A and B are shown apart, each in its own frame.
Chain A
């Protein structure tokens, strides 16, 4: 990979706000000054992130931190309120409709709940074959094409006349993978794709992801709250807290020399097979509500190193070592 090559995916200052739609009474009341106008949730707040071709970027964060929203924007399922999502240097939103449609096909998403993301009324053959047929990607026999997709995802093509409910959770996830791969993507966004699976099945699906990466040269944005899984299959890791990326670096750096106090606390709390009857401690306090995020650094109310400056000023995500970015005021003191 040459350095001149643009990243496969680039998020530039991407934000996404969600505001509750007000009914008429609410709007009138707000205009009359009877109630305050509703606040918007800033689910994703000014994120800059790059995914290079062929790499696996792990995106880690707790529930409500905005990692799924970020994933949906990366996959083109949701448009950002502010900022740009560039794919091979080009913005989907600025492309002509036909080109944008073709470009979007190259990014596919794998969802957490393999049941909710499959149409229960369609047979597997239709679930997997519909999109490539519509987009004219099949030359030759459609059934042979579907069989090949199923086989690649580790499913017996003999089951393709069945419906999703006739499969186990792990098999359903394989159907979701076969469906995504059927349109020949180069980039997969996996949103908690193994979280709902049993331990023994989870290992099978993780192995499948890694095999497919080698076979097809896929690039992944792998979103998960499971640090063990992320550590295992990522090349780089980004840690998210309340809508912002607080640290991003190569997997060895994040897990070996975590810089941000939140990353450090998160890593300390991960239960591991090797630590027996440990004394659990905990990061003080709760995850704050995204409706009312703390001023300055979002993590300061829970941070053991918080200084007055952290309450007032949001730290910038900046490079602290080659390829290692962190957003913490402590780095300014060195």
Chain B
């Protein structure tokens, strides 16, 4: 179960193996991420899909080593170019963060300081990694702003964050992520708060990056439709574990895990207009009181006695991994 995903054509930039991040709360231990493995290759977009509480965000934060107490990485390896980030010193991690690995958050104001001008923030970020003259740093900032499609970057540099719209702020946050041409970008729901037309603009920029610069992308979202349009591969998380992963076409056209197929079938466009939507019964699970064995079994139409044991992630088709004892039958395409 160590090698969860097949080796891509090129060696992966990031390889996460059996990652466990738990939160030690007064009420008990929350296994937010519990044995997650995946890899991302250069130029590849991996969509990490899940609902709230599935552990997708904590997975991203773990890779960046941004998990704060009461949370802690309690096990597993995070191999970035073969180096285990989980073992790295905070100082060495700082050298990587924002330099070779960058993160884009759902709310751009997580990245931006409201009381500093954009140029101050970008130049500071450029000069944080390596000796650069202010002039060169400024030039790099202008370049990055232009790259994400901000018109008149020279002039906009001297503005404050509040003078930009939400979509523009998110673009600036992405520009900051791009400053050092990172090899890996972790994006946590970066377009969820944006309107469709703005979302399309940002997705267009992101696609170009992966294509032209070979940047690897870990795209964390709850939106299957965005993943369908953007990602090469997809991993679906439920209650801290990956329940299914594989090529986007494979997983979306032939989902094998009942949770994945339930998610896909509940999307309105998959149902006849006005007809009752197919729905997954029950609620998103409480991680403090997960059922023993398969965490999905209380909501699953196929659940049987065997599901009280923990199913392993097994390969059902080349490149498609499923964690289920009774996977859905493959439907004829």
Interface residues of A (CB under 8 A from B): 62-63, 168-171, 198-204, 206-207, 210, 225, 227-229, 231-233, 251, 265-266, 269-283, 286-287
B262 touches which one: A200, A210, A277 (CB < 8 A)? A200
Contact between B197 and A283, CB atoms less than 8 A apart: yes
Q: Are A282's CB and B197's CB within 8 A? A: yes
CA distance in complex: A280, B266 (Å): 24
**Is B278 a contact of A281 with CB atoms below 8 Å?**
no
Known contacts A198-B51, A270-B196, A281-B200: does B277 contact A203 (CB below 8 Å)? yes
Shortest Cβ distance from A277 into chain B, in angstroms?
7
- Min Cβ gap B321→A in Å is 20
Name the residue of chain A whose CB is nearest to the CB of B223: A271
Q: Which 5 interchain pairs have the tightest Cβ spacing?
A: A232-B268, A282-B201, A203-B266, A62-B195, A271-B225
Residue from A200, A233, A271, A278 in contact with B263 in the complex, judged by beta carbons closer than 8 Å = A200
State in angstroms the CA–CA spacing of A277 and B226 once bound together: 9
Chain B 243-265: CB-based contact to A (< 8 A → 1; otherwise 0): 00000110010000000001110
15 A-B contacts (beta carbon < 8 Å): A198-B222, A199-B51, A199-B224, A200-B280, A207-B277, A232-B269, A232-B277, A265-B197, A269-B197, A269-B199, A271-B199, A273-B264, A278-B229, A286-B165, A287-B197
Please determine whether A277 and B268 come into contact, CB atoms closer than 8 angstroms. Answer: no
Report whether A277 and B267 are in contact in the complex, using a CB–CB cutoff of 8 Å. Answer: no
Shortest C-beta distance, A227 to chain B (Å), equals 7
Task: Tell which of A202, A225, A233, A271 touches B229, judged by Cβ atoms closer than 8 Å.
Answer: A271
Inter-subunit contact B204/A282 (CB<8 Å): yes
Write out the residue numbers on chain B whose beta carbons fall within 8 Å of the beta carbon of A272: 225, 228-229, 269
The answer to whether A228 and B196 have CB atoms under 8 Å apart is: no
- Report yes or no: B283 in contact with A171, Cβ–Cβ below 8 A: yes
* Residue B131 at the chain A interface, CB threshold 8 Å: no
Chain B residue numbers with a CB within 8 Å of A273 are 224-225, 228, 252, 264, 267, 269-270
Task: Give the residues in chain B near A202, CB-CB below 8 Å.
Answer: 266
Interface residues of B, CB < 8 Å — how many? 47
Closest to A267 in B: B196
In the complex, what residues of A have CB within 8 A of residue B225's CB?
228, 270-273
- For B52, B229, B264, B271, the residue with the greatest tally of chain A CB atoms inside 10 Å of its CB is B229
Contacts of A271 in B (CB 8 A): 196, 199, 203, 223, 225-226, 228-230
Q: Which residue of B lies closest to A271 (CB)?
A: B225
- B-side residues, CB < 8 A to A, are 51-52, 165-168, 195-201, 203-204, 207, 222-226, 228-232, 248-249, 252, 262-264, 266-271, 273-274, 276-280, 283-284
- Taking a contact as CB atoms closer than 8 A, the residue among B168, B229, B249, B280 that contacts A280 in the complex is B229
B279, A207: Cβ atoms closer than 8 Å: yes
Distance in angstroms between the alpha carbons of A118 and B149 in the assembled complex: 41
Chain A neighbourhood of B51, CB < 8 A: 198-201
Task: Give the distance to chain A from B333, nearest Cβ to Cβ, in Å.
Answer: 13
Asked if A279 contacts B207 (CB within 8 A), the reply is yes
A213, chain B: closest CB distance, angstroms: 10
Residues in A whose Cβ lies below 8 Å from that of B196? 62, 225, 227, 266, 269-271
Measured CA separation A193–B226 after assembly (Å): 21
Q: Which residue of B is nearest A281, CB measured?
A: B204
Looking across the interface, which residue of chain B has its beta carbon closest to that of A302? B197
CA distance A277 to B206 in the complex (A): 12
Closest to B248 in A: A276
Give the distance to chain B from A208, nearest Cβ to Cβ, in Å: 10
New A-B contacts (11) at CB < 8 Å, excluding given A198-B222, A270-B196: A62-B195, A198-B52, A199-B222, A200-B284, A210-B274, A271-B226, A274-B269, A277-B248, A280-B203, A282-B204, A283-B197
A287 CA to B232 CA, complexed, in Å: 30
Q: Specify which chain B residues have a CB less than 8 angstroms from the CB of A251 in the assembled complex.
A: 273
Max count, chain A CB within 10 A of own CB: residue among B196, B199, B204, B284: B196
Contact flag A200-B266 (CB < 8 Å), given A266-B196, A283-B197: yes
Bound Cα distance from A282 to B230, whole angstroms: 14
Q: Chain A residue with minimal CB distance to B197?
A: A283
Taking CB atoms, residues of chain B closer than 8 Å to A168 are 283-284
Chain A residues contacting B224 (CB-CB under 8 Å) are 199, 273
A280 touches B267 (CB 8 A): no
Q: How far is the CA of A266 from the CA of B200 in the complex (A)?
A: 10
Question: How distant is the Cα of A201 from the Cα of B199 in the complex, in angstroms?
Answer: 23
Given contacts A199-B224, A271-B228, A277-B232, contact A229 B279 (CB under 8 A): no
A167 nearest CB neighbor, chain B only: B283
A298 → chain B closest CB, angstroms: 14
B-side contacts of A287, CB under 8 Å = 165, 167, 195, 197-198
- How near does chain B come to A279, taking the closest CB pair, in angstroms? 7
Nearest chain-B residue to A282 (Cβ)? Answer: B201
